[in-house]
Amino acid sequence: MVERRTATGQRAASPWIRGHAADAVDFFVYVVVLNLAVEYLPSVISETFTLSLLTALLLKVTLEVVLRLKSRVIARLTSAPSRRGKVTWAVILWTLAAGSKFVVLELVALVFADQVSLGGFIPVTLLVVALLLARAGVRWLLYGRETKGVKGPTQQGQGASPPR
């Protein structure tokens, strides 16, 4: 296997990592926020750090799916020609927003049983809001104002440096 090097002779990151740098950053942000929740919210429990890493990964995947579904529903809502269509898509959006919290709770209970608990509906809602705000804040710090749809520096056409 040939090792890739940059122009300065440093070992180059794999194309997959460069293409998903924002996802890796999101994961670490989720780990920090989740462990802060474990420390300061009595209803949020994770038996070990390893379980908190796995929980953060589960949250990352689940929230990515939910965010993609929400963006599709919002697109349908804004493009609905009738009032009835807009109301229907608004109800679907509300159901998705509220239902996603129950999905997160059930997935964590299914995968980790009693070793991890995210509390109830209110604590998991606060956790999800904190995760998404922290993610947006870190992306804003790293990539500037143009964070919508950021997948990583290379997909922005900027090489290894963040967009300016």
C-alpha distances in Å from residue 19, one per residue of 4, 5, 16, 108, 160: 16, 17, 5, 28, 10
Nearest to 50 by CA among 37, 40, 60, 35: 35
Tell me, what's the pLDDT at 143? 83
| 160 — pLDDT class (breaks 50, 70, 90) | very low
The encoded tokens of residue 8 equal: 């300065």
Tell me, what's the pLDDT at 111? 95
Cβ contacts of residue 24 below 8 Å, gap of 6+?
Answer: 17
pLDDT at 15 over 90: no
For 99-157, the pLDDT digits (tens) are 999 999 999 999 999 999 998 899 999 999 999 999 999 989 988 876 555 554 434 44
For 67-79, the pLDDT digits (tens) are 999 999 999 999 9
| 31 — pLDDT class (breaks 50, 70, 90) | very high
How many Å apart are CA 25 and CA 71, to the nearest integer? 21
Q: What is the DSSP string of the chain?
A: -PPPB-TTSPBPPPHHHHHTHHHHHHHHHHHHHHHHHHHH-TTEEESSHHHHHHHHHHHHHHHHHHHHHHHHHHHHHHH--SHHHHHHHHHHHHHHHHHHHHHHHHHHHHHHGGGEEE-SHHHHHHHHHHHHHHHHHHHHHHH-S--TT---GGGGT-TTS---
pLDDT at 24 over 90: no
